Amino acid sequence: MLTNEQLLAAHKANVDTLLSLSATSLDAVEKLAALNLEVTKAALGEASAKAQAALSVKDVQELFAMQGDVLQPTAEKSAAYARKVYDIAAGVQAELAKAAEAGFADVQSKVTALVDTAVKNAPAGSENAVTLMKAAVAAANDTFENVQKAAKQAVGAAEANFATISSSVVAAKPAGRAKRAA
């Protein structure tokens, strides 16, 4: 049975976790808003400059050349924006994973203590039930660890794929400029 102190400590820990996760979420929203504001300002400035340049074009060839110069930086900027958004999301995911792991570790220790108490108070002849309970707890722990490993591998694979895509966008820049120069 839980004592009042244990119950109060559990509630305090839950509130602290909730406040921490709320602060992390608000920080991420603030970073996304700042990023979007920065990107919007830059886009408006560039659009204005490109519009002024388009109005000063003297022939069709200049217009087509200018159109080609607009597309490549857009792809690079989109990749950079996506990378920044991914970094923000990865930070939030890491904080959530840390909180989930801490919560699971707490639950795991409480379940282990409960099993140990049950083993001590088990009547004679209940060894099979105790063994079964210990096996179930061990299986649950193993499952959680496997899920954690799989999630970390998936995050690693996503980061590698994102890095590959980002580098291919950057690598495409010189090739695109070389074609126009030829």
Q: How many domains does the chain have?
A: 1
What confidence score (pLDDT) does residue 108 get? 77
What confidence score (pLDDT) does residue 182 get? 41
| Distance, first Cα to last Cα, the chain | 81
pLDDT in tens, 49-66: 888 888 888 888 887 777
- Dmax over CA atoms of the chain, in Å, equals 98
Short-list 98, 96, 74, 78, CA closest to 86: 78
What confidence score (pLDDT) does residue 114 get? 74
Question: Which amino acid belongs to residue 31?
Answer: K
What confidence score (pLDDT) does residue 28 get? 93
What confidence score (pLDDT) does residue 172 get? 59
What confidence score (pLDDT) does residue 1 get? 53
CB-based burial, 6-21: b 16+ in 10 Å, e otherwise: eeeeeeeeeeeeeeee
Domain residues for 99? 4-181
Indicate the burial class of 81 (C-beta count within 10 angstroms; 0-12, 13-18, 19 or more): middle
| Stretches in the chain below the pLDDT threshold 70 | 1-2, 68, 70-72, 166, 169-182
Q: Is 150 strand, coil or helix?
A: helix
What confidence score (pLDDT) does residue 132 get? 80
Is there a contact between 166 and 85 (Cβ–Cβ < 8 Å)?
no
Pull the structure tokens for residue 83.
Answer: 């990378």
With tokens 């079964």, the residue in question is 132
